[in-house]
Structure 1
Amino acid sequence: MRGLADALRGQPGPIAAAVIIMLLVVYAFVVPLFTADPFSMAGMSILDAFSPPAWMEGGVAAMPLGADDQGRNLLTAMAYGLRTSIMVGGISVVIGLGLGGALGLISGYVGGRTDAVIMRLADVQLAYPALLLAMVIDGIANALLGRGRSNEVAIAIVTISIGIAFWVQYARTIRSSVMVERDQEYVAAARVTGRSNTAILVKHILPNVMAPVLVIATINLGIAVITEATLSFLGIGIPPTYPSLGSLIRNGNAFLQSGEWWISVWPCLVLVLLVIAVNVLGDHLRDHFNPKIRGRS
């Protein structure tokens, strides 16, 4: 936390981005504590369907941003959808970091054929866009589990699919750092004292290679959120009966030409605001922790 505070000191743009992220997280996780799920019968009001924002003619004060075709309060529905998007994006980043980190540590430390096999797998995966790979993994899971799976299982499949699609960046970055660190004196000293390879990797090398990886994770969070929203918009990711920014945008897209613009525009704005804020913060952290860039500034 101290390093993050130092990175943000005197930087109004990244500070604003961090504040926006915190506000959106609070909005996503606090509003659902006091409101009914808009995707349940208790959270719908068919009589208020297509209600415009409160400042427009026919608007309802209780729904300041308007309602969708099912009478869902968009202010509440977006909080539920944003919570899902943040959770899926965050957990998928953790999965990608865990998988890529483990493979990167092994590849860089062991070397030889193990390194060659892991890196060739990474090269093969880089030939496929992350979105396409996530779609393939989700399709395979659907074929194995069937369409009758629960919402929780469907969300888990999407989360794991996105996580697997992003492991390569972590693996390549950690591998490069480990190949430098494994020849350092402190690693040789740890070997002399009888430390196992696992202990050397986890307790000595890993803490020294995590800074650039955490920056990549910050940037990938925005990409993961966009990927989840894209899958949901295409009807592949989060089930349509479960709140998600992507499903809200897809639902509103059908009514854009009939004049109910608010159903799609508000979720789009929230998604764009979150991704831009995450990217601005991630880009700044990348520049701050890059010694070459810091040396030129």
Structure 2
Amino acid sequence: MTPLVSTPAARRSRFSNLRRAMLKAPGATLCALTIFAMFVYAFVVPLFSQNPFEFAGMSVLDSFIPPMWMTDGVPDFPLGTDDQGRNLFTAMAYGMRTSIIVGFLSVMIGLVLGGSLGLIAGFVGGKVDAFIMRLADVQLAYPALLLAMIIDGAARAALGAERSVTTAITIVVLSIGIAFWVQYARTIRSSVMIERDQDYVSAARITGRSNLSIIVLHILPNVMAPVLVIATINLGIAIITEATLSFLGIGIPVTSPSLGTLIRNGNNFLQSGEWWISVWPCLVLVLFVVSVNILGDHLRDVYNPRLKGRS
């Protein structure tokens, strides 16, 4: 019989199995270390440097300096500078931090919204289940990027084009998060429909536990493994979506750091020879997203070995 709760011993066993699986997959371990290093880069470098997107951190006299190994390169700017004289090494750290925060918050919103609806649909069933799933089917007709653009456009119409940076970032987070809830809802619903008929749920009902208690304490811990895999993969997708929106000029404002705004700014000078302004942010974005996807794919194989090799 499945245990009534997810015990600390069971959680330690799952962590031990995951650790052994990671040690057997050097590629996934390397990706995990890469992600950790990029987190350190994004959140530690800004602690010891001035924000290059503030006026005090800009100097037009230092604009368009190439990387330090090229002719006219300067050691103080190892990756070069942009048109405003911003140090790209520091600017990318600030941009990476913003992109990661936006990605994490978007995934959390999608997880909470989709997870709640999936739990309700799977446990209650009937007309409630049918309504939530039809709503999900309707949203699946709109790509995540298009839906985010629609929500952002509606917010611009309601709040005006002149918005604060905090408001703009909040709208981007909500737009991406709302676009992602369907995957979590459908995955959790299918798992809950299996778990609700298990013996441990019947035993919990006999002991007099409420439906909310059964869902939160018993069913939810047993359906989270595939959801966490989806969340890991969606983190990379959310960062790509944010970068795309910012590149199109409808995401993070150009006055704020993000990988998308850096790539958009560098694109204006790509044809004139200042390739480093856009290439470095692109490489950082690609490296992070690829590492997250490979790690998420490995986690999927760990938690569901039957899907191994179907990437």
Q: Secondary structure at the match of 1:4?
A: helix
Q: Paired residue for 1:170?
A: 184
Q: Which amino acid aligns with 2:183?
A: Q
Task: Work out whether residues 18 and 302 of structure 2, in 8 Å CA contact, stay in contact via their aligned partners in 1.
Answer: no
Gaps of 5+ in 2: 1-14
The answer to whether the aligner puts 1:6 opposite 2:20 as a matched pair is yes
Residue 256 of structure 1: which of 260, 270, 279 is its match?
Answer: 270
Q: Which amino acid aligns with 1:11?
A: A
Q: Paired residue for 2:69?
A: 55
Please, what TM-score do these two structures have when normalized by structure 2? 0.93
In 2, Cα distance between equivalents of 1:294 and 1:31: 38
Q: Paired residue for 2:60?
A: 46
Range with bigger deviation, 141-150 or 89-98: 141-150
Q: Paired residue for 1:70?
A: 84
The answer to whether the aligner puts 1:148 opposite 2:162 as a matched pair is yes
In 2, Cα distance between equivalents of 1:279 and 1:30: 24
**Equivalence map 1:191-206=2 (5 Å):** 191-206=205-220
Q: Paired residue for 1:238?
A: 252
**Equivalence map 1:1-297=2 (5 Å):** 1-293=15-307
- State the identity %: 73
In 1, Cα distance between equivalents of 2:192 and 2:267: 47
- Following TM superposition, by how much is the alpha carbon of 1:141 offset from its aligned partner in structure 2, in angstroms? 1.2
In 2, Cα distance between equivalents of 1:262 and 1:204: 52
- Following TM superposition, by how much is the alpha carbon of 1:288 offset from its aligned partner in structure 2, in angstroms? 1.3
Q: Paired residue for 2:6?
A: none
Q: Secondary structure at the match of 2:161?
A: coil
- Following TM superposition, by how much is the alpha carbon of 1:191 offset from its aligned partner in structure 2, in angstroms? 1.0
- Following TM superposition, by how much is the alpha carbon of 1:22 offset from its aligned partner in structure 2, in angstroms? 0.3
Structure 1 residues 160 and 189 mapped into 2: Cα distance closer, same or farther (>3 Å)? same
Q: Which amino acid aligns with 1:166?
A: F
Q: Paired residue for 2:8?
A: none
Q: Which amino acid aligns with 1:255?
A: F
In 2, Cα distance between equivalents of 1:294 and 1:93: 25
In 2, Cα distance between equivalents of 1:9 and 1:95: 32
Task: Work out whether residues 117 and 132 of structure 2, in 8 Å CA contact, stay in contact via their aligned partners in 1.
Answer: yes
Range with bigger deviation, 140-149 or 62-71: 140-149
Range with bigger deviation, 111-120 or 287-296: 287-296
State the number of aligned residues: 296
Q: Secondary structure at the match of 1:166?
A: helix
Q: Which amino acid aligns with 1:173?
A: T
- Following TM superposition, by how much is the alpha carbon of 1:7 offset from its aligned partner in structure 2, in angstroms? 2.8
- Following TM superposition, by how much is the alpha carbon of 1:130 offset from its aligned partner in structure 2, in angstroms? 0.3
Gaps of 5+ in 1: none
